[in-house]
Amino acid sequence: MSQLGYLLIAVGVILVLLAIFFVTFVLYRKTPVPKGCEKLPSAESCSKCGLGEGCALNIYAKKEDPKK
């Protein structure tokens, strides 16, 4: 097969991967959260480095005092 053929296949594979990502993303969002898991912390609250305040991964962030 010529290099152009491989190039077209590569572009096709990348497009298929993109399509799979968007389909799984939409399906993941549309799938209802199982019972009892409604109050889990959201991934959006993560600061990636785990050092930000309000991040579920960060065990040293300031926690709210339950007495207040």
Residue 46's contacts (CB-CB under 8 Å, 6 or more residues apart) are 52, 55, 56, 57
Between 14 and 53, name the residue whose CB sits nearer to other proteins. 14
Between 45 and 53, name the residue whose CB sits nearer to other proteins. 45
Residues in contact with other proteins by CB under 8 A are 1, 3, 6-7, 9-10, 13-14, 17-18, 20-21, 24-25, 27-28, 31, 33-37, 40-43, 45-46, 48-50, 55-60
Between 59 and 68, name the residue whose CB sits nearer to other proteins. 59
In the chain, what is the straight-line distance between the N-terminal and C-terminal CA atoms, in Å? Answer: 71
C-alpha span between 49 and 12 (Å, rounded): 34
